[in-house]
Structure 1
Amino acid sequence: MKDIVYDVQKGHTLYAVFLELKEWNTIEIGKLGTFSFAPGVYVYVGSAKKNMEKRLARHVQIDKKKRWHLDYLRPYCQITKIISYETSIGECGLASKFKKKGKVCVPRFGASDCKCGGHLIFLGECK
């Protein structure tokens, strides 16, 4: 198991969790449905106005009650890096920046409370 690289700054409320999926998997993502995931690197964009450390620690855990879309994907992936960002760009704005480098693979993933396409972006094959 690899160590996770943390670049989390005090006062930031946005974060990106980078995940590596080693093989094809078909995974049920709660009420969103069942989706096929290609092996490669994914980034999940989220926000936490309070207790970001607790939220990130929860994302790292594998065995937990499934509350968020990421909880369904997490057991199949290795988290490689977590980076925080300052607030001004907003969660959807940060996701949009990553979308320029990849594509949304599950519509509405992590975005049930906004109007953007999704907050899980496939960045491509593992290197």
Structure 2
Amino acid sequence: MGYAINESDTLYAIKFRLVKDIKSIQIGKLGPFDFPRGYYVYVGSAKRNIKARIDRHLKVDKKKRWHIDYLRPYLSVESVQSFPESDGECQLFQRLKLEHNADMPAKGFGSSDCYCYSHLFFFEIKS
């Protein structure tokens, strides 16, 4: 999949689509979670080489290192967008979550290095 990012940006949001409900996926040490069908947006940061970080997240077959690695095999990639660090990762997540009127399906997902509830949000596929 091709995508355009600004190499000087340090923040990113990857939008995925899950086409059917998935029950009880083990997300590393966080535990099992259910994921309803819909759109998911994962927000992250990379202080160096944002393109390499995003490329890794887009791969399906890899050693599981981040929470998104456990969910990735079930998801199709919709879009990738990069952002400057001006807001910060947590603020970017909150802003995008509010814009989409979204829910957070998994406490602690992608947010083990901050106090946020999650860095993964979900919104339904409109039929």
Q: TM-score, normalised by structure 1?
A: 0.93
- Read off the aligned partner of 1:107 and give its amino acid letter: K
State the secondary structure of the residue aligned to 1:6. coil
- Read off the aligned partner of 1:15 and give its amino acid letter: Y
- Read off the aligned partner of 2:112 and give its amino acid letter: S
Q: Structure 1 vs Structure 2: percent identity of aligned residues? A: 45
> Which whole-Å CA distance do the structure 2 matches of 1:119 and 1:126 have between them?
22
1:29 maps to 27
1:13 is matched with which residue: 10, 29, 40? Answer: 10
> Which whole-Å CA distance do the structure 1 matches of 2:103 and 2:64 have between them?
24
1:122 maps to 122
Instruction: Give the deviation of 1:48 after TM superposition.
Output: 0.2
Q: TM-score, normalised by structure 2?
A: 0.93
> Quick check: 1:107 aligned with 2:114?
no
Instruction: Give the deviation of 1:123 after TM superposition.
Output: 2.1
> Which whole-Å CA distance do the structure 1 matches of 2:2 and 2:41 have between them?
14
RMSD (Å) for aligned C-alpha atoms:
1.2
Q: Number of paired residues?
A: 124
State the secondary structure of the residue aligned to 2:85. coil
> Which whole-Å CA distance do the structure 2 matches of 1:96 and 1:34 have between them?
24
> Which whole-Å CA distance do the structure 2 matches of 1:120 and 1:16 have between them?
10
Given that residues 70 and 110 in structure 1 are in contact (C-alpha distance below 8 angstroms), is that contact kept between their aligned partners in structure 2?
yes
Instruction: Give the deviation of 1:125 after TM superposition.
Output: 1.6
